[in-house]
Structure 1
C-alpha cells in the first residue's frame, strides 16, 4: 500500500484546553480539504446519529471506524460517541456520514448505566466540537482562522 507523507513546516495555532493544534504543511496536499462543521452537532433523544473516525493510533497505519458508531450525547462543547478508537488517536477527525468534520477526538471516558450493545456499563469517546475550535481560532489566531475560511470557500467553488 502506498503512503503519502506530509512534512510540517510550522505550528501555527494550538490550545491545550481544547486539545488541538493547527500545523502548516510544507507543500499543498494533493487531497481536497476537509469541511469543518460550522454548527455544533446536536442529537435529540431518540435520534440515531453515526460518526466515523479516520485515525492513526500512535502513528501506526490508518484505521477507519465506520458505521454502528452512534453518538451517545452532544453539547455545545463536546461530542460523546461509541465509535471504536485505539490509544494514541487523539486529534483524529470525527466525521458525519457526509464527511463533515464535527469534532476532533481527544480521549475516552467511562459512563455508567448506559445501555449499548447489550451492556449497561461502557466507555465513550469524547471529541471537541469543531465549531468550538473554529470560534477559538477566530479570537486567538484570526489570521489562521481567515486562512482556513478562505480554503473552505475555494474548496466549495472547486
Structure 2
C-alpha cells in the first residue's frame, strides 16, 4: 500500500520501486540525478511509519543535501525526525531537528524544570517556616500571660491579708 496523498507524485517506475521495497526490512534506493530517489525514499519512510507502524526508521545518504531533503520530506508528512550528522553541514531551516539541537533543548527544558522545582521548594520551605514561627509565637504568648495572671493573683492575695 502506498500513501494515498503522495501516490499521485510517483511515476510508474517509482510506484514499482516503492511496492517492491515495502516487503523488505532493508531497501536501497539508487539512480542517476533527477530520477526521484528522494520522493521514493520519503514515500517509503512515510508508508512504513504511518501505515505499517514500523519505527524507528533509519535513512542515510552519501550527501548531506539528500539527507536534508529526505528529513524535510518526512517531517512534512508529520513524522518526528532526528537529523544526525555534522551540524555545520545541515541546512539552516532544519537545525532544530538535529540531534545536537534536540539534546540542547531537552537539557534547557530539564534545567528550567529543576529551577522551577527548586523555587517551589524554597517557597514551600518559607511558608512552613512562617507557619512554624506563627505557632511558636502563639505558644509563647500563652506562657507569658499565665505568669502575669499569677503575679496579679499573688498581688491580690497579698493585699487581702494586709487589710484584715
Report the TM-score range of the alignment, normalised by the length of the smaller protein.
under 0.3
Greater relative contact order (CA < 8 Å, ≥ 6 in sequence): 1
Higher strand share: 1
Q: Structure 2-normalised TM-score?
A: 0.23
TM-score by length of 1: 0.24
